[in-house]
Amino acid sequence: MNPHLLANIACGEDNQKEFSEPLLNSYHLDLPITVNNVEILPKNGVLNLRSFPLLNNLPWVKILPDLEPKVSTECWKFPTPQDGIASYVAPKLLVEPNPDSKNIESESSEGPSEIIETLLEKDLTRVKPLKDMFHFKERLMYLLQPPIEEVFIGKEVNLPFKPFPYQIKGIAFLMPRKSALIADEMGLGKTIQVIISIRLLFRSGLLKNVLIACPKPLVINWTRELKLWASDLPVEVICGNTEERRISWNVSNTAVKLVNYELLTRDVLEGVAENKFYDLMVIDEAQRIKTKGSKTAQAVCSIQRERSWAMTGTPIENRHDDLIHIFEFVDPGRVPKDTPPKMLASLTSESIIRRTKEEAAPDMPAKIIQDVFLELTPAQRQAYDLAEKEGVVHLNKLGDTITVQHVFELVMRLKQICNFDPRTGASSKAEQLLADMEEVQATNSKAIVFSQWVKPLEELADQLKDYNPLMYHGKIPSQQRQGVLDQFKKDPKAHVILMSYGTGSVGLNLQFTNYVFLFDRWWNPAIEDQAINRAHRLGQKSTVFVKRFISQKTIEERIAEVLDAKRKLFSDIIDHSGLPSSLGLNEDEIFNLFSCTPRPKKIAA
């Protein structure tokens, strides 16, 4: 086509008149041109896709990596290995070892060379990258760091006592995980493993602020353990009036903040605690959030965080739903609410670590449990038979209006009669306990007595005066409780402490005690196990003798039979063989205690 005509068209001229202005001049340019073919799609124009499932079972996630990977370098953050064994310096004890610590293994008598030789011979523990870590930098960071045992060689990280091998493995499990549930059996030192992991992550630069939530009675224990195992970390306990707590929440930059569940719930729901982001949140006794929709669960799950760690020796107390609700904090969305029990193990196994005492400490002293069946005194039997007869008649009269609460009221009344006759105060259990306490005193030992109620403990205190009993229950002010425990440990004349299950069954370290008496039985065997493990834990040097008092031919014997048949829950979850739906008593089993017919269930239209 004529170039002049093209110019006309370019300038908007529709006629065929030749365009004279501007003049178009052509120039010859000799430029080299290189063409590189970039094949974005195959020649046939079809893009092949590959599926990449991250988990074997639902729920699963797919992640699209960066289309243009970027490579950057940075300084090494983790503690570097020692240059050689010649630079070894033996770990220095920060405090004198004491028998009530969770780890009683003191500084080894072996010299540095022997310890190094042992380290070289043993399989060292390394932090392994997780299966779902796909970024090269992230995986490399964990692969290149030294074994954890080497971190504790020298002056960089001083520990008061050498951690046990299973605790080292627990630390290696926690460090790379953003979602973790440490469910070791009570007494194996979960607190120690969490604190050391936090300390190492702070040193690596991966943590800058941490929030720890725990039951109110355990705040003192946490502060002591943090001071012992991480003395270089600043810790602040959130307490005081509203304004003081507001400053602690929103103004203070303390690295580690510690708060009890009650204050956390109140401050979050009332807006005292602003929506601050934490690198890590740890919850102790995680069964506190097992009830879906509770205020405590709502407050805990609302905290913004990058990492979520939970601690509990009883991840399932009653039903498998307990574990599902705990995982709503640990890894939201990972376990659907309607997950069947048989799928729980496969969905949660990557985030759970659990060891029993038999696995972790095979040389630990034995725990001998004895069920002591006792006949009621004549006065107790008369009162019991009358109360049961009248109670069953009353339940039958209720007909279709009967509820579980009606049955519970009768059960509680009968259990109290099994403890003490309401008219005369006679008690076959008290008589047996007095006889057993003679042996405790003769061997210069100490004992714990657990009961569901405070009143029986008060009556026992009067009968056990010769053994200088101490009381530890909900009526004792929280600021006085540590003093009671210190006195029980140090006073050689104080041979027995009387505790309620609700106050004394969790978080206490009483391994200097080797007799435990369950004066009456709790509804849930998991709670009884927690109580027993106040004494049977790491640091115990003697065999622990446990006696569970059961009144024959009473409601206690029937309850014991039902609960003992359900003690397989934890072994089931560990063996991945499917979970029973409930560990405690269900509605039908409660009615069957008295051969009652439950109220007919309404059928939806």
Residue closest to 183 by CA, chosen among 332, 300, 283 = 283
Domain 367-592 has CATH 3.40.50.300: yes
Structure tokens belonging to residue 179: 């979602």
Q: What does pLDDT average to over the chain?
A: 76
Using DSSP bridges, classify how beta strands 256-260 and 470-472 pair: parallel, antiparallel or unpaired.
unpaired
Angle value at C-alpha 58, between 54 and 59, nearest 5 degrees: 75
Structure tokens belonging to residue 291: 């009830």
**284-308 confidence digits (pLDDT tens):** 988 888 887 889 999 999 999 999 9
**442-495 confidence digits (pLDDT tens):** 889 999 999 999 999 999 999 999 999 999 998 888 888 889 999 999 999 999
- Please give the pLDDT value at position 355: 85
**504-519 confidence digits (pLDDT tens):** 777 688 889 999 999 9
How far is it, in rounded angstroms, from Cα 455 to Cα 443? Answer: 29
* pTM (predicted TM-score): 0.59
Q: Long-range CB contacts (< 8 A, 24+ apart) of 258-262?
A: 258/212, 258/214, 258/219, 258/222, 258/223, 258/226, 259/211, 259/212, 259/213, 260/213, 260/214, 260/215, 260/216, 260/218, 260/219, 261/213, 261/214, 261/215, 261/216, 261/288, 261/296, 261/300, 262/216
530, containing H or E segment: helix 525-532
**183-237 confidence digits (pLDDT tens):** 887 778 899 999 999 999 998 888 999 999 998 878 888 998 999 999 889 999 9
- Please give the pLDDT value at position 518: 94
Domain 124-360 has CATH 3.30.390.10: no
Residue 22, pLDDT above cutoff 70: no
Residue 605, pLDDT above cutoff 60: no
**254-267 confidence digits (pLDDT tens):** 999 999 999 999 99
- Please give the pLDDT value at position 520: 92
Helix 165-174 to helix 190-203 angle, to the nearest 10 degrees?
A: 50
Domains 124-360 and 367-592 share a fold: yes
Domain map (residue ranges) of the chain: 1-26, 124-360, 367-592
